[in-house]
């Protein structure tokens, strides 16, 4: 049994200041994967079919650590790091949680950091990379996020490399040659690339000093954004000689945090948790009776908040519809979703980031890696699937520290869209049986499967490639003893049962989101309590607080 982690709660200063089912057509599906080839890295924040470890054993008790970094000021590298923080990153003082995490990295200790969106998580590994004397490998789920961070590091005159599927063959050869030659203190990889033997062999030869896991909630089968490839990270860490691991996320309940510790094999980690909700954000829920009322409320918000903002929708169809309506209202607007071409998505992103347009209408595909500090508002036009998603997306507002608004335009009927998605999210028992049988006939091993093999099984069974990969990934763990059952029919039943448990958990998350929307409790307190934060003070700025005066 692994040693229990220790926990540090970092205080953050408080700012005192009729039901109709959705049209069941393809336009109402969740954002599609624009790059479905399983041999390539996924490049969108999407709902993914689940590839689960069925033998979860959580320990939620996190003991407090009274002195998380007692020797940091005596570390001879600390004065240099403080100077580099200012000269390279423009940081004169650390945000809550950053100092503790940096101290853990310097001490060679595993750590889990739960810091809010925009809370400066990346500094915890980027700054130490300058003094560790060896490469820091950063696992990131999004190619766009990797590229954005590498661009910012280049501006700071910090050498970083990225390994992903967008590189040409010659670019990949050049990058690998540079890594072998000892260049690049920071190396960004996708989880899919990290699990390849060629990548592991190259990185092992360099002697990795730190393995940093960005968006670590993707490893948790209980998290809201599970990514199957993250399950291989613990094994990859052992193959790299088991360097210290730094796991970072913006949204993790106590259950998810415990699962991250278990799934990554963290050893007596320091757990640093700050408030999920930044004090400069004002949360509001506006109840609406119909579509027209929503649009009136949105126009009023556009008038009240002259700065840039993001409007999230639950479906591609609604994003397109709202984009056309906003443009007709003579408001500079762009749109972003997974059915757009990569070039069109990048053009929209660039126009929003440089201020060419003021408003972005988007699905959840406009997600991780979006950092526009002067975003003054984030609106959820339809209810999201969970408080985790809501907090993460709302946290893209006000990263410059100035006041910003996070508004949910709530209509009870909107829940039918999310209920529909939950019902369709997982493979059925019939699909599981067909995939397992087809893999057996083709002699495809669950643990070793190529993209061509997955596509062949998908063509034979009529099941999507992504879903085939998820089913076979789950089967692989069952065959290796992860679920305690034999492969074949029993495995099919085990996978189906786990999918049903996941569906139930998704429904519980949605119910919590609906309760938040209907509650009269302070919005900041409600979100904080959901994530296990005790003793949060009322914000005095949300609709619930203002209505109770």
> Each residue of 116-145: pLDDT tens digit?
887 789 999 999 999 999 999 999 987 777
Please tell me the predicted confidence (pLDDT) of residue 310: 98
Please tell me the predicted confidence (pLDDT) of residue 10: 53
Can you give 234-251 as a three-state secondary structure string? HHHHHHCCCCCEEEEECC
Low-confidence stretches of the chain (pLDDT beneath 50): 1, 3-4, 11-29, 32-67, 70, 482-488
Go through the domains of the chain in sequence order and give each one's CATH number.
6-10+72-273 (3.40.50.300), 281-415+519-547 (3.40.50.300), 425-505 (no CATH)
Please tell me the predicted confidence (pLDDT) of residue 152: 83
Task: Read off the pTM.
Answer: 0.78
Please tell me the predicted confidence (pLDDT) of residue 22: 40
Give me 65's structure tokens. Answer: 């650590």
Please tell me the predicted confidence (pLDDT) of residue 232: 85
Please tell me the predicted confidence (pLDDT) of residue 8: 59
pLDDT one-digit tens code per residue, 301-355:
999 998 999 999 999 999 999 999 999 999 999 999 999 998 999 899 999 999 9
Helix (H/G/I), strand (E/B), else coil: 122: coil
Phi and psi for 162 in degrees, rounded to 5? -130, 140
Contact 491, 436 (CB under 8 A): yes
DSSP assignment of 479-502 equals HTTSSSS-SSHHHHHHHHHHHHHH
Please tell me the predicted confidence (pLDDT) of residue 448: 61
DSSP assignment of 139-195 equals E-S-HHHHHHHHHHHHHTT--EEEESTTS-HHHHHHHHHHHHTT--SEEEE-HHHHT
Rg (CA), the chain: 23
Q: Give the span between the Cα atoms of 408 and 380, in whole angstroms.
A: 5
Please tell me the predicted confidence (pLDDT) of residue 438: 93
Contact 143, 217 (CB under 8 A): no
């Amino acid at each position: 049994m692994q040693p229990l982690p220790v926990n540090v709660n970092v205080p953050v200063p408080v700012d005192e200041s009729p039901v109709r089912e959705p049209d069941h057509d393809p336009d109402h599906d969740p954002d599609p994967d624009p790059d479905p080839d399983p041999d390539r890295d996924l490049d969108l924040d999407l709902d993914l079919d689940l590839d689960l470890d069925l033998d979860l054993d959580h320990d939620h008790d996190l003991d407090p650590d009274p002195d998380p970094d007692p020797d940091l000021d005596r570390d001879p590298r600390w004065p240099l790091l403080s100077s580099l923080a200012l000269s390279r990153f423009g940081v004169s003082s650390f945000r809550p949680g950053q100092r503790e995490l940096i101290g853990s990295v310097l001490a060679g200790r595993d750590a889990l950091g739960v810091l809010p969106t925009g809370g400066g998580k990346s500094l915890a590994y980027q700054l130490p990379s300058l003094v560790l004397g060896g490469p820091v490998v950063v696992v990131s789920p999004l190619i766009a996020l990797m590229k954005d961070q590498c661009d910012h590091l280049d501006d700071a005159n910090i050498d970083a490399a990225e390994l992903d599927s967008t590189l040409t063959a010659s670019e990949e050869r050049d990058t690998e040659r540079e890594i072998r030659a000892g260049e690049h203190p920071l190396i960004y990889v996708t989880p899919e690339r990290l699990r390849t033997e060629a990548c592991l062999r190259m990185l092992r030869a360099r002697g990795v000093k730190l393995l940093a896991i960005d968006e670590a909630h993707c490893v948790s089968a209980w998290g809201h954004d599970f990514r199957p490839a993250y399950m291989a990270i613990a094994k990859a860490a052992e193959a790299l000689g088991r360097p210290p691991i730094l796991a970072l996320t913006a949204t993790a309940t106590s259950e998810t945090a415990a699962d991250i510790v278990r799934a990554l094999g963290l050893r007596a980690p320091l757990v640093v948790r700050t408030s999920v909700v930044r004090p400069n954000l004002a949360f509001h829920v506006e109840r609406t009776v119909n579509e027209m009322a929503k649009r009136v409320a949105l126009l009023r918000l556009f008038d009240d908040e002259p700065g840039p903002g993001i409007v999230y929708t639950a479906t591609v169809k609604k994003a397109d519809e709202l984009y056309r309506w906003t443009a007709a209202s003579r408001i500079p607007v762009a749109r972003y979703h997974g059915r757009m071409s990569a070039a069109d998505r990048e053009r929209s992103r660039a126009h929003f980031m440089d201020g060419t347009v003021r408003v972005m209408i988007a699905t959840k595909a406009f997600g991780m890696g979006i950092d526009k500090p002067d975003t003054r508002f984030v609106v959820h036009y339809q209810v999201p699937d969970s408080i985790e998603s809501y907090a993460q997306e709302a946290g893209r507002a006000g990263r410059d520290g100035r006041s910003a608004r996070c508004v949910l335009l709530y209509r009870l009927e909107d829940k039918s869209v999310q209920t529909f998605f939950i019902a369709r999210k997982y493979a059925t028992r019939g699909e599981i049986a067909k995939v397992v049988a087809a893999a057996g006939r083709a002699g495809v091993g669950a643990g070793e499967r190529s993209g061509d093999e997955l596509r062949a099984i998908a063509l034979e069974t009529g099941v999507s490639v992504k879903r085939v990969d998820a089913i076979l990934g789950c089967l692989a763990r069952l065959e290796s003893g992860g679920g305690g059952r034999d492969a074949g029919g029993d495995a099919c039943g085990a996978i189906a049962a786990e999918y049903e448990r996941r569906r139930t958990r998704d429904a519980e998350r949605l119910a919590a989101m609906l309760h938040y929307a209907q509650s009269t409790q302070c919005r900041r307190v409600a979100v904080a309590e959901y994530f296990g934060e005790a003793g949060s003070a009322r914000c005095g700025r949300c609709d619930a607080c203002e209505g109770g005066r």
